[in-house]
Every structure is written in structure tokens, then in C-alpha cells.
Amino acid sequence: MTPESYEEVAELLRESGEAGRAVRPVGAGTKLGWAGGGGGDELSTARLDRILEHNVGDLTAVLQAGVPLARAQEAFAAAWQMLALDPPGEAATIGGIVASGDSGPLRHRYGGPRDLVIGIAVALSDGTIARAGGKVIKNVAGYDLAKLFTGSFGTLGVILEVAVRLHPLPRARATAVGHGDDPDALAQAASALAQAPLELESLDIRWKDGKGAVLARAAGAAAQERAGAIAMPGLELEVMEDDDALWARQRAGQRSTEGAVVKVSGLQSGLASVLRDADRVGGAVVGRAALGLSWIAVPDQDAAQELRRALAPAPSVVLDGGGVTVDEGPALELMRRVKARFDVYGVMNPGVL
């Protein structure tokens, strides 16, 4: 199914819902293995691919779900603006990124999709088309359904359209890289940078086979001077002005072509132990050092499960396969009630959550 209008999406969902046929919304299909990837008829947003608005003076835009992020970024960059989202996957659509809550190194400064989406339009399995939020960055009218749908993996409905806030594209960027082989030294350096008033655009860590680095990126009019002034005691320091390839590598580290990727929601204070745990299962880590979020590429599913046990009680998910597991308890009960109200026929990506 490749509908061309919101009404068509709603009609297809209603028909599927009434017939009890499972539906699986798909954007560019770059993350189909995530969250279990159950069956169902594919509903593609490929023809909902228009950039509806780019309000340059207001730093906002309205995008249909099927717009590839890369294409939107080109349009924004022409006005020296950006949507501050940089997850890996060049083909990924904005709808898929929002539905999966995916993000990249820019999250350090600008937040994730939940923080950047200011309005949403969705279609539900009973044929309803509903909107929440708006097109202005400050708005508290009504419930924030945009956040509810962000990261919901298509289990509540189909995202049709999002309004997003944009940021100025920095005029210059530069990165200080501190290399080291001691997890504690790397974690300490990252922590010191996170506590300092540096307003870094990104603060990442990488680690594999007993070696790693802290990457601190400054952006703005004085980016080079600021990156040059960054200190990381105990680490071997270099400053790179031509740093795009470095960050592309960080983003790529959030994916694995062969094995599996475990995403862990930890705390900054637990960073060193995440690096050690990863070593034990042959994992390669990239992470947002100040946010406690790490992506660990491991050789196979067994290693992924072993790593998850080691990381507990910090919540973690295996991105490729395994589904999103929420512990039994009142929060899961509440999620089930939400699902039942929004997806009344229970046909949206069943079994994922």
C-alpha cells in the first residue's frame, strides 16, 4: 500500500482495522529489523514526500512523513539552517526517524526527536486523522501527542506529517579528540567536559578492543578557538577542523551490518563500566557521553543478551530483533491502555511492544 493522501492512509487503515488485518507502516525501510519487526501489510509513506513549509524567519518547517531527512536538510542548509537530527542512514525518512525515536551526536546539544517535533498529524486504525501541537515552537495547548507517537514504532497509528523546529547551521565547527586506553580516564575526561560551560554541540565517546576516544565538538562563530582551548588531562589530544568524517564514523557506529546493536540508557557516571562490559563481549561502543546513551555493536544475539544482563539494571534494548521489552508493572499496564485507545482494532504493528 502506497497511499498518496492522508485521507487514503486513513481509509486503508480503517479497512484493515475492520478486517482485522495487521498493518506495518514503513518509511525508507532502513530500520525494519528494529523493535521485532512483526508481519502485516506494509503501508509505505513513500508518496507522502513533500516539504510543506519551510518558514525561514520562524525557524520552523512542516514535513510529510515520507520526506527523506537528507533532502530536507539540503533545503534547510540553503538558508543556513538545519533540523538538528543526525541519526545514521542516509535514506531514512523523517517519519521513520520520529517513529523510532532515532538520533545522532547532535542530540547532546539539541535533544532528540521528542524535543524537536512541535506538531504532528497521525492516522489511526479506526480511520481517524488527528493533529496535535502546532507550528510554533512555544505552545502548550492540548496534550503533547507528538511525544506519545515519537518512538512508538508505528504501534499507535501512522505518522502523516510533523512540524519541527529548526536551528541555525553553525558557521564553523571543530573537534577536540582525546585518545586513551583507560576507560576511567576517558569517562573522567568526558564528565569534566560535560560539567564545564562549553556549550558543546556534541560530546561523544568511542571504544573498541581496549582503546577509545572522547570527541568534543564546538560549533559557532568561535568554534576553532573553543575546540583548541579544550583540555583532556591524561588523554592524547588532537584538534581537527575538518571533522565531518570523524562524526560520520560515530554515526555509523550506531549500526551493525552483521551482528546486533544494544542501545543502553544509562547515566554518565556509569560510562566506564559500560566500556568494560562491552570489551567482555567483543563490543564496539559509540555513545553520547554526557547523556548516558550508548550504542554497542556486538557480534551476535547471544552476545547482545549477555551484555544486556551485564548492563542491568540500566534499561537497554536490542535494536535489530528482540522487540522493545518493558518490564511488567503499572507503566506497562498504562502503555497497554494507551495502545487500546489509539489502536482500537489492535492492528498497528502488533507484537512489537
Partner 1 sequence: MDADGLIGRLAEICGPEGTVTHPHQLRTYESDGLLQYKSVPRAAALPGSAEEVRDVVRACHEAGVPWVARGAGTGLSGGALPREEGILIVLSRLTRILEVDLENQRVVAEPGVTNLEISKAVGPTHFYPPDPSSQVVCSIGGNVAENSGGAHCFKYGFTTNYVTGLEVVLPDGEVVMLGGKELDAPGYDLLGAFVGSEGTLGVVTKIVLRVVPTPESVRTLVGFFRETDDAGDAVTAIVAAGIVPGAIEMMDRVAIQATEAATHAGYRLDAGAALLVELDGPEVECDAVFDDVVRLCREAGAIEVRIAGDEAERELFWKARRAAFGAMGRISTTYYVQDSVIPRTRLGEVLRLIDELSAEYGMTVANVFHAGDGNLHPLVCYDGRQEGEAERAEELAGRIVKACVDAGGSITGEHGVGVDKKRYMPSMFSEPDLDAFQRLRCSFDPGGLANPGKVMPTPRLCGEVPGPYRQHPLERAGVAERM
Strand ranges inside the chain, DSSP E: 23-26, 41-44, 51-55, 60-64, 81-82, 117-123, 129-133, 158-165, 167-168, 173-180, 202-208, 211-219, 236-240, 260-265, 284-288, 293-298, 316-318
Which CB atom, from 147 or from 276, has the smaller least distance to partner 1?
Answer: 147
**Closest C-alpha among 122, 176, 179 to residue 147:** 122
Per rule CB under 8 A, is residue 131 in the interface with partner 1? yes
Per rule CB under 8 A, is residue 75 in the interface with partner 1? no
Per rule CB under 8 A, is residue 337 in the interface with partner 1? yes
Per rule CB under 8 A, is residue 12 in the interface with partner 1? no
State the nearest-atom distance from the C-beta of 209 to partner 1, in Å: 27
Say how far apart CA 72 and CA 84 lie, in whole Å: 11
Per rule CB under 8 A, is residue 332 in the interface with partner 1? yes
Per rule CB under 8 A, is residue 109 in the interface with partner 1? no
**Closest C-alpha among 98, 91, 65, 87 to residue 263:** 87
Stretch touching partner 1 by CB under 8 A, among 22-30, 89-97, 274-282, 314-322? 314-322
Per rule CB under 8 A, is residue 145 in the interface with partner 1? yes
Say how far apart CA 64 and CA 69 lie, in whole Å: 11
State the nearest-atom distance from the C-beta of 20 to partner 1, in Å: 12
Per rule CB under 8 A, is residue 31 in the interface with partner 1? no
Stretch (H or E) spanning 304: helix 301-311
Per rule CB under 8 A, is residue 314 in the interface with partner 1? yes
Which CB atom, from 46 or from 338, has the smaller least distance to partner 1?
Answer: 338
Say how far apart CA 261 and CA 292 lie, in whole Å: 16
Backbone angles phi, psi at 63, to 5 degrees: -125, 140
Q: Which of 46, 148, 252, 310 binds partner 1 (CB under 8 A)?
A: 148
Which CB atom, from 143 or from 302, has the smaller least distance to partner 1?
Answer: 143
State the nearest-atom distance from the C-beta of 251 to partner 1, in Å: 17
183 within 8 A of 276, measured Cβ to Cβ: yes
Q: Which of 317, 319, 349, 350 binds partner 1 (CB under 8 A)?
A: 317
Q: How many helices (H) and strands (E) does the chain have?
A: 12, 17
251 within 8 A of 86, measured Cβ to Cβ: yes
Q: Which of 46, 136, 246, 252 binds partner 1 (CB under 8 A)?
A: 136
Q: Which of 29, 33, 38, 151 binds partner 1 (CB under 8 A)?
A: 151
What residue type is 194 in one-letter code? A
Site for partner 1 in 218-277 (CB under 8 A): 220-222, 225-226, 229, 263, 265-269
Stretch (H or E) spanning 94: helix 94-100
Site for partner 1 in 157-216 (CB under 8 A): 167-171, 191, 194-199
Provide the β-strand partners of residue 202.
217
Stretch touching partner 1 by CB under 8 A, among 40-48, 65-73, 89-97, 128-136? 128-136
Q: Which residues contact 279 (CB under 8 A, 6 or more apart)?
A: 207, 209, 210
Q: Which residues contact 102 (CB under 8 A, 6 or more apart)?
A: 31, 87, 89, 92, 96, 113
State the nearest-atom distance from the C-beta of 221 to partner 1, in Å: 4
Per DSSP, 152 falls in state -
Q: Which of 75, 240, 246, 335 binds partner 1 (CB under 8 A)?
A: 335
State the nearest-atom distance from the C-beta of 325 to partner 1, in Å: 6
Per rule CB under 8 A, is residue 100 in the interface with partner 1? no
State the nearest-atom distance from the C-beta of 112 to partner 1, in Å: 8
Stretch touching partner 1 by CB under 8 A, among 134-142, 203-211, 233-241, 272-280? 134-142
Q: Which of helix, strand or coil describes residue 57? A: helix
Say how far apart CA 163 and CA 147 lie, in whole Å: 12
